[in-house]
Structure formats: structure tokens, C-alpha cells
Structure 1
Amino acid sequence: MLSKNEIKYIQSLGHKKRRDEERLFLMEGSKMVAELLEHYPSQIVRLYATETFYEQHPAAKQIQQHHIVSDDELTRISQLQTPNQALALVHYFSEQEIEPPSAEWILALDGIRDPGNMGTIIRLADWFGIRTIICSPDCADIYNPKVVQATMGSIMRVAVAEKELDAFLANQQLPVVGAMLGGKELSSFEFPKAGILVIGNESNGIREDVISLLTDKLMIPRFGEAESLNAAIATSIFLWELKRE
């Protein structure tokens, strides 16, 4: 049985300040935790799961601090509305110094604040084979439980680093392409083999000091009356065009 202090500690990791202090985040759901067990077991500090999960994934019992919990206990420690068999306390992934490769595209996010959008964009990057994302400091925390959940495991495979975008982009030799209204039509642009794609804030787009560093401004043509596109949807269209080239 979990103690009140243990439950309180796990719940506290739902807050960024505590996550940063402990360098730990929560990963939930049988699918994501099973994938973590298979590929990154050393990242797991503690594992809380139902008997059913341990029966289906015997390797879980090799985690030094593994605990069998009831459905009620899982509900008490979960950040989800509908808990799903397993919850892991996980080390932050190591943040390496990122230098844009000469033969790949990377994604730069300028003020993406919605956790759902952030998680979905990480998942999209994984789908389209983008291995690196640079985030401005005001982006949603990638270890926010809502972000982690929306990535559906892609947080394990995509390197994400926080940097001041203007300083980072000013030192790059690669093309810097920005998604913004009033730019050149996306379908008419020939993407080079490598570059940096900038996606702006959900409401305000790319900030002025970053716009000045763009080599190309591109837009998705509008055929209806909607004022704008969701940032994650816009990202998916840009990445499809980029990879289609």
C-alpha cells in the first residue's frame, strides 16, 4: 500500500518546479511504459503498475523499485482522467548540445504554449523523421504530463532542446524557413536537403526578432474563411511538403 507521503510526492511531479528540482517526470499508460521498458529501462526510477501489467510485461519486475498497485491507488497518483495500468517516474532525458546536421531538417518552435500542441508536434516530428526540435524558453514544458501523453512515446525518440531562437538562428548557415501568413505559397517552394523550419505561437505567430532571421517566408493557402490553422496541423502540412520534396 502506498503511503500518503509517497502519493503526495508522485502528485507533486505534476508541477514543473518540482520536476526540475528532482529531474524526474511522469510517464503513464501501458503502451508508453512498455516501450520505455523495452528501449530505455535505465531511465525508470520507480514503476507503479497493476498485477495485470506485470503479468503481461515480466521485464517490469526487473526494475529495482517496482510496486504493484490497485486500480484505486493508480487513480490517486495518476495525472490522467482515466488511469491505464502503469505509471513510471522517469529521469529527464539528457540534453546534448545540438548542432544542426548538414543533411537534415530540424524544427524550431517559437512560443508554442499549448501542451497538446507541443506533444502533438513532437509526435509529428517523429512520424516524419525529424530527429531534433529547438524550443524557445516560453514553449510549453516538454515534461508536462499533458505534453508527454500527447507525444504517445515520441518524446523518447526526438531530441528536444531549449534555446533563445534569435541567438541560435543567427549563428546558423542553413536556410531558415518560417510558416507565416503573407509568405510565398508553400507548394511553390523547393525545399533544400537541409534547413530549419520555424513554427510560431498559436495566436501571434513568429516573433519579430525571429522573422528578421528567416531566409524564406511560406504560407499554407487558405480556401475558406477560417482565420488561422492550429499550430500542430500547420506543422503536419509543412512537414509533409518538406518530406515530399
Structure 2
Amino acid sequence: MLSKAQIKYIQSLQHKKYRQKSGQFIAEGDKIVPELISGGMVVREVYATKEWISGHEQVLSGRVPVIGVEAHVLKQLSALTTPNQALALVDIPPAAPLVLKGRVSLALETIQDPGNMGTLIRIADWFGIKQLICTPDCVDVYNPKTIQATMGSIARVNIIETDLLSLLQKEEVPSYAATLQGTDITTFSKLAEGIILIGNESKGLSDAVIAASTHKLTIPRLGGAESLNAGVAAGIICGRLLI
């Protein structure tokens, strides 16, 4: 049984300022919660229906405190329109060191939509990219909708927030800016090191970031669409440059 204070605290984590203050976030999803536990994130508590708990005894197995709650309580706790059967209280991991040499990183500028951010984290995980760089004006990666969209990939990708322009100006590794005015992506060789740059959903990358990048690339357009979704573009670019 959760107290009113506990319910209020969990509900407060729907807001960025309280996540930052507490150093915790909530993760919702019947598949996501086990992924975070197995992925090594610090899960403080799990709140779930009795049916969900009985079906996940192997992954839980005394590794985290589990509190059985009724569906109507989960609905109170949930940040989603349709609540799941399980919700976890998780510590925000400490910032990992930024390492550019010898690896491929994905860098995002001013991504605003939580679903897009979650998809981009999931894409990074799919292609084995362990480091995701975000500008400070990106949507919070620990937004409940973002966490749900990652489908657990948040446990396997290090998130680093930094000023992208300053980073590029150091030119430690090559950088590849996605832009409509770039070079055909099919002319590029497979990457072993570098930063793939993806911009805002409507405006793309800023002129300053494009200018600071060492390479400008574009996905050839065969039809009449004006542009591609940020996640779709990132998936195509990663598939072409990393496989």
C-alpha cells in the first residue's frame, strides 16, 4: 500500500525539475522495467499488478523491492494516457566521461519531441552506438514518454549533455552533418570513428554546427517529400555508415 506522500513523489517525477532535484525518474512498461533491471540500472522500487509480478518472478528474483498495487493506483502514478502493468523508480545514472576517439557517437541538436528522442536512443542502441550527445536545449531524455519510447535502450546508451558547437570546434574526430545540401551518403565509406550529427525536427542542424562539421552528407531523395523525420534519417545514416 502506497502512502499519499509516496504517490505524490512519484507523480512529481513527471516534471523535469523534480527529476533533476531528486536524481530519479520513472519508467513505465511491461517490457521496459525488466530491461532496466537486467541492464544494470539502479532500480529502487517496482510498482506492479500482482499478475505482472507473478509473470516476472525470474527477472525480479529478489533483485529489487517490488510493491503490488491495484490497476487504479498505477493509473494515478502513470504519466501516460494508457497505464502499463508495471512502473519503476530508477536512479538517473551519473554522467559518463565523454570519449570521442576510437568510436562512433550520435549527436543531437535541439530535438524537442520525447518520442523522437526515445527513438533516437533506440536507434543508437540498435547500431551499437554507446554514446549519445545532446545539446542542453534537447528534450529531457528522462521524460516518461522518452523512456517508454526507448524500449529499454536507455540502459545501454550513455547520455552526455554538452555544447555541441564547442565540441566540434576541437576537431578531435571527424563529424558528419545530416543536411539537405550535403554530399550523397552512398559515396562515404564505413565509419570506425566520428560523430553523426542530427538536427531539430523542423529546422535541422543550425548553420553554425553544419559549418563546424568536417563532412556534410545527405540521403538521396527519389520522390517529392520535403524532408525526413529525425529518427528515420538517423536510422538510414547509421545503416549506411556503420554496417
Q: Fold-level match, TM-score > 0.5? A: yes
Superposition deviation, residue 114 in structure 1: 1.0
Matched, 1:74 2:97: no
Q: Does 1:97 align with 2:106?
A: no
- The Cα offsets for residues 46-67 of structure 1, whole Å up to 9 and x where unpaired, read as 2211111221223536256431
For residues 59-208 of structure 1, what are the structure 2 equivalents within 5 Å?
60=60, 62=62, 65-102=65-102, 104-208=103-207
Q: TM-score normalised to the size of structure 1?
A: 0.93
Secondary structure at the counterpart of residue 7 of structure 1? helix
- Native 8 Å contact 1:176 1:198 kept in 2: yes
Tell me by how many angstroms 1:139 deviates. 0.7
User: 5+ unaligned residues in a row in structure 2: which ranges?
Assistant: none
Is 1:26 matched up with 2:26?
A: yes
* 3-state SS, counterpart of residue 128 of structure 2: coil
Q: Distance in 1 between matches of 2:64 and 2:34?
A: 16
Q: Deviations over 1:204-244 (max 9, x none)?
A: 11112211211111111112221111000000000000123
How far the C-alpha of 1:202 sits from its partner, in A, is 1.0
Is the 8 Å Cα contact of residues 43 and 88 (structure 2) preserved in structure 1?
yes
- Runs of 5+ consecutive residues of structure 1 not aligned to the other structure: none
Structure 1 residue ranges, 4+ long, deviating more than 6 angstroms after superposition: none
Aligned length: 242
CA RMSD of aligned residues (A): 1.6
Give the letter aligned to residue 232 of structure 1. Answer: G
Measured in 2, the distance between the counterparts of 1:134 and 1:7 equals 33
Does the CA-based 8 Å contact 1:54-1:61 persist in structure 2?
no
Structure 1 Cα separation of the partners of residues 64 and 196 of structure 2: 42
SS across alignment from 2:31: helix
Q: Show CA shifts across 1:78-129 (max 9, x none).
A: 1122222211110001211211132x21111111111111100000010111
Question: 1:17-56 counterparts in 2 under 5 A?
Answer: 17-40=17-40, 43-56=42-55
Q: 2-side partners of 1:93 and 1:128: how far apart?
A: 22
Question: Separation in 2 of the partners of 1:194 and 1:37?
Answer: 30
Structure 2: which amino acid aligns with 1:127? W
Other-structure match for 1:8? 8
Distance 1:166 1:213 in 2: 7
SS of residue matched to 2:195: strand
Is the contact between residue 111 and residue 138 of structure 1 (CA under 8 Å) also seen in structure 2? yes
User: Aligned partners of 1:215 and 1:170: how far apart in 2?
Assistant: 10
**2:89 is paired with a residue of what secondary structure?**
strand
- Contact 2:35–2:155, Cα closer than 8 Å, also in 1: no
- 1:33/1:88 contact within 8 Å kept: yes
Task: State the TM-score, normalizing by the size of structure 2.
Answer: 0.94
Percent identical pairs in the alignment equals: 46
Q: SS of 1:142's equivalent?
A: coil
Q: Contact (CA 8 Å) 1:46, 1:63: kept in 2 or not?
A: no
Query: Could you tell me how far apart the structure 2 residues matched to 1:185 and 1:61 are?
Result: 51
Amino acid at match of 1:96: A
1: CA distance, partners of 2:116 / 2:49: 30
Q: Distance in 2 between matches of 1:53 and 1:223?
A: 47
Shift of 1:138: 0.7
